[in-house]
């Protein structure tokens, strides 16, 4: 492989990792971290917005789920028999913004039920 292609591949991997992670000092915050982990690594955020989102969840039951004894046999190969389970769940959503100052970009973090689900880079800090 040519050195230029290797360098390009390395650069693409570097960019893709930075999209999914936030560096706070020497610590790295990644998707899936808890709120406590993020506060420990980055300190308190500059703003927090909290709200509930109601989401619907449905599950189509398969034939293997309904054998008389409740045993599941080969769940990936079962045929759908049209039974549907439906539920609504509340998801606690917190949206945090970190402003690290003029020399860095602001960071938006979205938590769902206490786990980091989204990281986004915003405008330059103040």
Chain centre to alpha carbon of residue 113: 11
pTM of the model: 0.66
Dihedral of the CA atoms 41, 114, 44, 48 (nearest 10)? 150
Domain that holds residue 52: 3-124
Token output for 52: 């509930």
How many structural domains are present in the chain? 1
Identify the band that residue 18 occupies on the pLDDT scale cut at 50, 70 and 90.
very low
Closest Cα to residue 30, out of 124, 100, 97, 115?
Answer: 115
> Higher confidence at residue 24 or residue 79?
24
């Amino acid at each position: 492989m040519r050195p230029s292609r290797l360098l390009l591949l390395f650069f693409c991997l570097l960019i893709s990792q930075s999209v999914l992670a936030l560096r706070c000092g020497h610590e790295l915050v990644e998707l899936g971290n808890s709120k406590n982990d993020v506060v420990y690594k980055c300190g308190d955020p500059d703003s927090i917005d909290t709200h509930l989102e109601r989401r619907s969840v449905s599950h189509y039951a398969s034939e293997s789920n309904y054998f008389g004894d409740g045993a599941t046999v080969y769940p990936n190969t079962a045929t759908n028999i049209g039974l549907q389970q439906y539920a609504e769940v509340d998801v606690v959503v917190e949206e945090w913004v970190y402003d690290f100052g003029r020399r860095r970009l602001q960071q938006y973090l979205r938590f769902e039920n206490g786990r980091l689900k989204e990281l986004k880079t915003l405008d330059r800090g103040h």
